[in-house]
Amino acid sequence: MKKQGDRIGAILSAKDNMVKFLGYGVYLGEETPPDLPIPNPKLQMDNGAIVWGYQCWWGGESAVKSQIEKYKKAGWIIEEVFI
C-alpha cells in the first residue's frame, strides 16, 4: 500500500504498440471522486493534473519507469497524454 506523498507513475493505456503515458506525480491518498461514489486513489501529476486510480494503471515511480523502458526497448511508441 502506498503512503501519502509517495512518488508514482501512471499509464492510461498500452495497446497496438502505443503507450499513452500520463507521467509521474504523487499519491495523495484515498478520496471520493466527483463521478464515483466510492473512495479511490487520488494522484496529482507533476504537470498539476489530478488523475484517479480507476482511470489508469499506476504504481510506484521506479516500477513504472522500468515498465516504460521495457516498452521502449520493444519498439513501442510512448506518447504523453493528459486527461
pTM equals 0.93
> Would you place residue 2 in the very low, low, confident or very high pLDDT band (cuts 50, 70, 90)?
confident
42 grid coordinates: 487520488
Rg (CA), the chain: 13
What does pLDDT average to over the chain? 97
Which pLDDT score, from 0 to 100, does residue 1 have?
63
User: Where in the chain are the domains?
Assistant: 7-80
* pLDDT, average across residues 12-21: 98
